[in-house]
Chain A
Amino acid sequence: MSDVTHSGGVGLPSRHIGDEAAKRLKRRYAAEARFKFFGMAALSAACLSLLVLLWTIVSEGYTAFQQTHIKIEVEFSPDNIAPAGTADRRRLMAGDYRAVLFEALDRKWSDVTDRDGQRLLEGLFGSGAEVQLRDMVVADPSLIGRKVEVWLLSHSDVDMFFKGHVGADEASGGRMAARQVAWIEALRAKGEIEKRFHGRFLTGADSRDPEMVGVLGGVMGSIFTLAICFLLAFPLGIMAAIYLEEYAPKNRFTEIVEININNLAAVPSVVFGLLGLAVFIAFFGMPRSTPLVGGFVLALMSLPTVIIAARAAIKAVPPSIREAALGIGASKMQMIFHHVLPLAMPGILTGTIITMSHALGETAPLLMIGMVAFITDVPGGALDAATVLPVQIFMWADNPERGFIEKTSAAIMVLLAFMLVMNAGAIWLRKRFERRW
């Protein structure tokens, strides 16, 4: 900077010409290029990790939508089930479908007569095959007494081997005996074993057998829980925000309320679970493990965030709109409900739905109120015992069986899809209600 002082009257232009200035300019351009590069690098690192995450989930999980089936001819003999013409659901359910399966195995592999060999044959099918046979008969009792060719679910160990996730023997992670491998190869040559679309994964609930699990139980649980959560948090949150923004006087009391709302938004979610256990279950006697209690707990958890988002949206409505409404004779309530609230709605909705997405991913508070549970029925309402999708994922990830690895990843895919739908809904609502002034 010393050249500035002795260059006299032409000081200003001299700073911007010459080698020194060119160097400076170059440095400034370089700094800008570097900054842009860092920004790009940060962005690509984020994109890359997202891609890696999605790739690991999808590459591990996509096979879960197919399950290995084996084609076999079964005879629904009345001896094992019930006399032909029985329509009583309970009697049909109580039939011995294991025997139906075993007789079919004996017919198909009539050369296998030793007890060990028969056990190995039985091992090709899990309990899923029995349930499949039972469901067929319950749905169509006229099957009794008939012989039918069916594709039956294989055992998860067979499925893992057939999909190539593990080798055959123990050393390569499989649980197949040499004779079972030979049978599978023979079936493969005849085209009697194949991967088929597995609808049960989308329509079933939890099970201890990987080939029998489904995500619908968790999805319905999540829908009911979030619906209750929304019904509570949305109206209460808006009303609280309107009161605090439009009516409440600015004094020490409202200040304390405001600070506490901000603090509550930062409280760890598991604390709300404890609160739910003490208040809703112990004091009000609500049933454990139900979406109703889950919804109440999640509503408590989301309420502060909804209030903060709603207040910000209401504050962003220009005062001129309020003054204009009041100026033409609207009451304060008319001003709020006819003008301010509709204009604030896009912001409120965005905030609420982001909070709901957050609540969708919660597992910790639900542990306390009994929603981390093994439930084999798809819940039919908010008062049925249920679990939610993230809890389902957490529980499957904890199971020792190999077959659960792909099921866990596939359930994560379903959860991500659920989240995308919710966020798309948020964008659509925002676009619909958006107003400019």
Chain B
Amino acid sequence: MKFQPKFLAVAAVTAMMAATLPAGAQTARDQIRVVGSSTVFPFTSAVAEQFARGGQFRAPIVESIGTGAGFRAFCAGVGVTHPDISNASRRITAAEVASCRQNGVTDIVELKIGFDGIVMATRRGSPQMNLTREHIWRALAREVPVNGQWVRNPYNTWNQVDPALPALAIEAMGPPPTSGTRDSFNELVLVGGCSTVAEIRAITDSAERNRRCQQIREDGKFIEAGENDNLIVQRLASGAPGAFGIFGYSFLDQNRDRIEGKTVDGVAPTFENISSGRYPVARSMYIYLKKAHVGVIPGLREFVTEYASERAVGQRGYLASRGLITLQQADREAQRQVVQSLTNLSM
């Protein structure tokens, strides 16, 4: 058998030429592109699928790359090569708005879609525990005040934190620092929990206070379990009765045979409590729309209209059945108004 050197050369040249070809394909785009948070991803993709079923437009492409990375891509510029919508499990920051503006993305529409509750779940049938956020902070902080002295967290069991709690070993599995859920956990549970501690209040330097509040112990009591929440659920179900998992409400909703949510500050993590704002560990979820792309990318306005519609985010909408905690009626009306008029974001 003979090998023609031509064959190799032709194959390589063909492949190289394929690289120059898409330059033309870039000029138009008939699919909406969404980037951002992995927490909002399941909801946006459900809307995308429903939207495409109308048969009028192609299904939007939804990328799950994280809130921060999403904003970076979103703010990179205006034009078909840049995404139209960014999912976020927190509000856009002033710095991100500034970076958007620098790249010409001046008009941004903010749409609040609902809440996500962060639950503290244990294996089903674990003993009753009336946790407060201060308990959680004391159990998981790296350094805690004991008799007025800051010491390495000495607690091994919950009843050492508070005698009213059961004598179960402290063990918590939660998301890594790169996750948006972890940011919210830090902010809502740890910062919220430490604010009632006298020694923390005594610290005047806010950076120092934040550091003391948000540092989590590293002696193996808190396990960073990775981004996969299903894995945490599995490990809880087969683990010790006192072991905690920290993740989004929808995973509790889907696994009630194996795990149960603990009350925090006396409020149980139920749909009603999260929606009404009584449950203390809940965050809002947003999508951000690039106004300059409306009218350029076909179906963009229709897509956000679908997203704000009652059949999507309403009390009985299809997102609620996927675990979205919906906004109150009046808020939903307000969001629909925003979509109607495409009101610019105001910080």
Interface residues of A (CB under 8 A from B): 89-90, 93-94, 127, 130-131, 134, 166-167, 170-174, 206-209, 228, 231-232, 234-236, 238-239, 280, 284-290, 292, 296, 333, 337-338, 341-342, 345, 367, 370, 372-377, 382-383, 385, 395, 397-402, 433
Contact = CB atoms under 8 A, between A and B. Distances in A.
Given A397-B230, A398-B38, A238 B8 contact: yes
Contacts of A207: 49
B5 to A, nearest CB: 5
A375 B64 CA distance: 11
Interface in B159-218: none
B258 A337 contact: no
Given A208-B42, A400-B42, A400-B230, A342 B25 contact: no
Contacts of B323: 400
B46 interface: yes
Interface string B226-252: 011110000000000000000010110
* Interface band, chain B: 35 or more
Interface in B11-50: 11-12, 14-15, 18-19, 21-23, 25-26, 31, 33, 35, 38, 41-42, 44-46, 48-50
Interface of B: 1-5, 8-9, 11-12, 14-15, 18-19, 21-23, 25-26, 31, 33, 35, 38, 41-42, 44-46, 48-50, 52-56, 58-59, 61-65, 81, 227-230, 248, 250-251, 253-258, 318, 322-323
B53 A235 contact: no
Contact of A173 (B14, B45, B61, B257): B257
B18 A382 contact: yes
B12 A333 contact: no
5 contacts: A90-B55, A127-B53, A231-B14, A375-B61, A398-B38
Which of A171, A285, A290 is the most central at the interface, judged by chain B CB atoms within 10 Å of its CB?
A285
Contact of B63 (A172, A370, A401, A433): A370
Nearest to A207: B49
A298 to B, nearest CB: 13
A33 to B, nearest CB: 39
A235 B8 contact: yes
Contact of A376 (B59, B253, B322): B59
Given A337-B4, A374-B64, A398 B256 contact: no
A132 to B, nearest CB: 12
Contacts of B21: 383
Contacts of B9: 235
A400 B22 contact: no
Contacts of B5: 333, 337
Contact of B256 (A93, A170, A209, A342): A170
A281 to B, nearest CB: 8
Contacts of B227: 398
A345 B7 CA distance: 14
Contacts of B2: 337-338, 342
A344 B299 CA distance: 55
B2 to A, nearest CB: 5
B11 A375 contact: no
A337 to B, nearest CB: 5
A398 B257 contact: no
Contacts of B58: 377
A290 B19 CA distance: 12
Contacts of A376: 48-49, 52, 59
B26 A400 contact: no
A406 to B, nearest CB: 13
A376 to B, nearest CB: 4
Contacts of A172: 257
B257 A287 contact: no
Which of A228, A288, A345 counts the most chain B CB atoms within 10 A? A288
B321 to A, nearest CB: 9
A382 B18 CA distance: 10
Contact of B228 (A130, A174, A342, A397): A397
Contacts of A333: 5
Contacts of A130: 53
Contacts of B15: 228, 231-232, 235
Contacts of B38: 398
